[in-house]
Amino acid sequence: MNKHTRFTKIVSMSLAAGMISAISVFPAFAQAEEIYLDADRSTDERVEDLLGRMTLEEKVAQLRIFHSSNLIKLNKEGQMVFSPAIKDRLHLGVAGIKNPGANYSAEQSALLNNQLQQYIIENTRLHIPALFVIEAYHGVNAKGCTVFGRPISLASTWNVDLVKEVWDTVGREARLRGLHMCHSPEADIVRDPRFGRMSEACGEDTYLTSEMVVAAVTGVQGDYVGLGAGTHIGAVVKHFAGYGQVQGGRNFASIEISPRVLIDEIYPPFKAGIQRGNALGVMASHGDLNGVASHANPELLTEVLRNQWGFEGYTVSDANDIARLHIFMNVAETPEDAAMMALEAGMDIDLYSDTAYALLPELVNDHPELIEDIDRSVRRVLRTKFVLGLFDQPYIDVSKVRNGVRSPASLELAERADLEAIILLKNEDETLPLTAEQETTVALLGPLVSKGAQAAFENTAGDDFRFVAAKGFELTDRNSTAPKLLDTEESVLEAQVELARQADVAVLFLGGDEYTSKEAYFLDENIGDRDSIDPVGAQDELLRRVKALGKPVIVVLKHRRTLSINEIAKQADAIVDCWELSEFGDQAIAKIVMGEVSPSGKLPATVPVSIGQMPIHYSQKAINYRKGYLFTENGPLFPFGHGLSYTTFEYGDLVLSDTELSEGGKLTVQVDVTNTGDRTAKEVVQLYIKDKVGSVVRPEKELKAFQKLEFKPGETKTVSFVIQPEQLAFTGADMLTDVEPGEFDVFVGTSSQDNQMATFNFK
């Protein structure tokens, strides 16, 4: 746009049609000679010009995000209405608004957000657009968008390209709603299944999580070019750092992580999301880190993020956490101290609070040095808005929404991701897939049977199968704050058993749901973590009784946290592990059970025998494997990376291009993998490395690469991996990260336990 061109508002509204079609940008009174409105100038020039025009109060407004709640609405005529309180929040501008239009359809959301953005632009002195922000735990967390599997389900696919495709769809659907940023993905490593938020992350492993985070960030941001093009949204990687390591698995508990583990295991997914993914934002952790509150931690927010990693985006608090430096963490004596501590540490945006950064204008009177920090943070927020193209194209063309959200391709993608996420944990005597020589009755039973399960199986199976379905009982009272377990009456159990007795095969839907594993929000009465990971209620008893009938028993395991499924592993003939799938989960489960598709998912987290084995992650220090426990078989129930198929894969011997690796060099590892069965199927070929001797105690092994490949029956593929010195680096006794010379074992196989081994030297 030529710098002498006047910006003209060309937002046309057709309220009768219920649409806003927005093609361009700013009110007529905005003059192009203002550098910040000139699209031909650099982002830095535009930011500095705009910053120089702002009052202190306008600057602070750009450091605050508030939640729309139900206060910003559409009336029956499709016109935006909101309370005087919202008007008061917007008169100076705002950094952003959380969840505007989330409870409306995608088209209604775009309509509302166009009007909201127009109001903000036209009713503020400098016409600065706002960021509209959402969560994305299973697709866009808003009405009318495609519902994908949760992040840990996507991690179970071990398919980076597929996961990126999912997040690309999330970014597109969100932008079409008029949204600009998502507080996702989570880069936390989660190794404690007591933690209720386990399913929001990607599991226990640093490398797998890093790859999934990069796929998510690049996908949702449209490889960064989709941001300014107006097709995608920005990612806020969270929770920095160590949030998944809360002690006791309890939300808001303290976090103790050694500096070495922090650098080698916890930081890398965040660093990958920033440096490889180019994420626009980072959210701090609710917790402390070795006693230092994360929201007031300059080592995290400035030294690591900015000085070491070169992060240029903005940091945002988790909900109300700047104020909680005073009211919860007790590291600030007053609300004013809390605001100053966070700002000086490098926290840019205050999410929700009215008693934190809202205090900054008054604080500047006594602390004028704060202006420098305020300007620093405002620059980062404004930069993000320019990167997203909001000053040049702040509105959505509503006519594109209907075909762009929940498109046939998006819905097909959700089911395709489910099919690759489902993990076959056990398949004794080839119980699965189900086959029938004559009419076979299958009973779909248990507390996790959904309403659509029977129809999904009927649509998938042939005429030789008949299905009956009955949920039987609930696990909890479904109270969203503090659920209580329910007792199951004997008559209900017997009714379930009777249905199984009349059937030829029983499929039991067991595990947990959103009430047995959830976020424990800040309020004391809101509980979501558990001190046990055994399946709750009468599930094991139902399984035992059905198994006693002497018929094949298949367990479909739905859950949001890893469960110690000892009875299920003992009694079930087959176990189909689903985590939490998309809206098409029932269809995907049916296709797997009936053999239309061979399962190819792999475990993103180790399955323990009991919670007492924690920590159980496969990549512990080697010395942790020296001793087991009395009266318990040593080792996990199912190892990290495990997952069966309906075919068999044979691995040949490893072939190394050399037995020596030197600085600046590379080494190739090859293995022939053959599908020795009669079905086309996918296999995840996994590579692990063990540093045999180090200056500090080293892990038993670490995942360093993987490939997911499809094999036709009888097909052999030569799978190649390249090992480079940086993959061998770790933080040594001197706290420097480097590669130490010596011997390394390399393992390639189908899981962290089932693999071939070779040895090479680094010198």
For residue 274, the one-letter residue type is: I
Q: Backbone phi, then psi, for 110, in 5-degree steps?
A: -60, -40
The answer to whether 567 and 540 are in contact (CB under 8 A) is yes
**CB-CB neighbours of 692 under 10 Å:** 12
Q: Which residues pair with 141 in a beta bridge?
A: none
366 is catalytic: no
Q: Which strand ranges, in their side-by-side order, compose the sheet holding 423-427?
A: 423-427, 574-579, 553-558, 505-511, 440-445, 465-470
3-state secondary structure of 322: coil
Enter the tokens of residue 428: 């004794």
The answer to whether 281 and 65 are in contact (CB under 8 A) is no
Q: Which strand ranges, in their side-by-side order, compose the sheet holding 755-762?
A: 660-661, 755-762, 742-749, 681-691, 702-711
Signed CA dihedral, 12, 16, 17, 18: sign only = positive
346: left (phi over 0), alpha (psi -120 to 50) or beta: left
Q: How far is CA 180 from CA 18, 141, 228, 302, in A?
A: 22, 13, 11, 25
Q: Quick one: DSSP state of residue 717?
A: E
Burial 247-278 (b: 16+ CB within 10 A, else e): eebbbbbebebeebbbbbbbbbbbbbbbeebb
Q: Which residues pair with 64 in a beta bridge?
A: 350
Q: Residues 38, 168, 188, 318: which is the catalytic one?
A: 318
Quote the radius of gyration of the chain (alpha carbons, Å): 27
Q: Report the C-alpha gap between 232 and 333 in whole angstroms.
A: 42
Residue 14: exposure state from Cβ atoms within 10 A (0-12, 13-18, ≥19): exposed
Q: Quick one: DSSP state of residue 741?
A: P
- C-alpha torsion 140→146→147→153, nearest 10: -90
DSSP letter for each residue of 489-534: -HHHHHHHHHHHHHSSEEEEEEE--TTTS----SSTT-----S--S
The answer to whether 738 and 762 are in contact (CB under 8 A) is no
DSSP letter for each residue of 630-694: TTS-SS-SB-TT--B-SS-EEE---EES-SEE-TT--EEEEEEEEE-SSS-EEEEEEEEEEESS-
Residue 714: exposure state from Cβ atoms within 10 A (0-12, 13-18, ≥19): exposed
Q: Backbone phi, then psi, for 62, in 5-degree steps?
A: -80, 5
Q: Report the C-alpha gap between 734 and 695 in whole angstroms.
A: 9
* Count of helix runs (H) and strand runs (E) in the chain: 22, 31
Place of tokens 């203002």: 34
**Cα 159–164–165 angle (5° rounding)?**
100
DSSP letter for each residue of 543-600: HHHHHTTTS-EEEEEE-SS----HHHHHH-SEEEEEES--TTHHHHHHHHHTTSS---
Q: Report the C-alpha gap between 150 and 327 in whole angstroms.
A: 33
- Which residues are tagged catalytic? 318
